[in-house]
Structure 1
Amino acid sequence: MKKILLIGLLGIALFGYLDKNAQTTQIVQNVFAADTVASASASTSASHSALQSAIDNRQSNVQVAGSGNVIKVLSDDLKGSRHQRFILKIASGGTLLVAHNIDLAPRINGLNVGDTVEFYGVYEFNNKGGVIHWTHHDPRGQHIGGWLKHNGSTYQ
């Protein structure tokens, strides 16, 4: 009888421990998920700041994120690697040339003046506002992959 009572008490204790552990795991998962969202948001915000800082300080080779409205669609650059080119007006009022390598990533079909494009790539300063490139994956895996987003699709 004592053995059955002891086994029953151990079972209850184990159930309580597992239930508490499951609750703790859920809390940790919730905190981790919230932290991941906050980190992603902070990272995007920092990258937007990095873009403006690079522009203001005439820097080059800076990994940045941002978005803008297409103000001009240019012809493709066909010298060497082919690049789709267009000009974005960003929130600060400045403009950026986007040079998107279409030998390594899909072209944005149906891109029109007035469209919004988000980007993640490398900023290079020039006297016209700058260029965003590396908006694609690196097949060699030696460079941070970039991307463009347009109308719900990602191009990388």
Structure 2
Amino acid sequence: MNQNRFWKQAFSFVLLLLVYGVYQFGNKQAELKQPGEYDDLLSLQQAVSAQRSKVWFNETQFTVYKLLADDTKGSRHQRFLVKREGLPTLLVAHNIDLAPRAPLRPGQSLYIKGRYEWNQKGGVLHWTHHDPRGVQPGGWLRLGEEKYQ
């Protein structure tokens, strides 16, 4: 009976060490992440496939596909197309009356945080700026360490 108890305690101890090691490894991985390494691709994919709008997404990496002319009707918006594997080509409408213009070029990688609106062409990413009323969380465009919000 003592030998059976010994093995149960040894097994419990090894299991405890294993759980602790996994916990510590997970914490180290979280500490190593840099800004922008969290990617919200799944939220966007779900919104596109469900044809949902008003979907806020966390900072997600894209590649600038094409620069478009600014939209100057009403609030001015810097417009460009972005691509990301697993998503259709998306239009970005970045309000340059509320946030600085981002110096973009095709092929450039950037991170976007904002709101997705579905349309038949794939969708629009907007609210890539702070909320001047402080009601919404707001978003941004990020190139390297520089945020345009």
SS of the residue aligned with 2:38? helix
SS of the residue aligned with 2:105? coil
Q: Distance in 2 between matches of 1:132 and 1:96?
A: 7
142-151 or 69-78, larger mean C-alpha shift? 142-151
AA aligned to 1:148 is L
Unaligned runs of 5+ in 1: 1-30
Unaligned runs of 5+ in 2: 1-23
AA aligned to 2:74 is G
Q: Distance in 2 between matches of 1:63 and 1:93?
A: 16
TM-score, normalised to structure 1's length? Answer: 0.69
Which ranges of 4 or more aligned residues in structure 1 deviate by more than 3 Å?
A: none
Q: Distance in 1 between matches of 2:136 and 2:38?
A: 18
92-101 or 55-64, larger mean C-alpha shift? 92-101
Equivalent pairs counted in the alignment come to: 120
CA RMSD of aligned residues (A): 2.3
Q: Between the two proteins, what is the percent identity of the paired residues?
A: 48
Q: Distance in 2 between matches of 1:139 and 1:74?
A: 25
1:89-145 Cα offsets, whole Å, 9 max, x none, are 112152110000000000012x11111121000000011110000000001001111
TM-score, normalised to structure 2's length? Answer: 0.72
Larger Rg: 1
Residue pairs, 1:1-20, within 5 angstroms = none
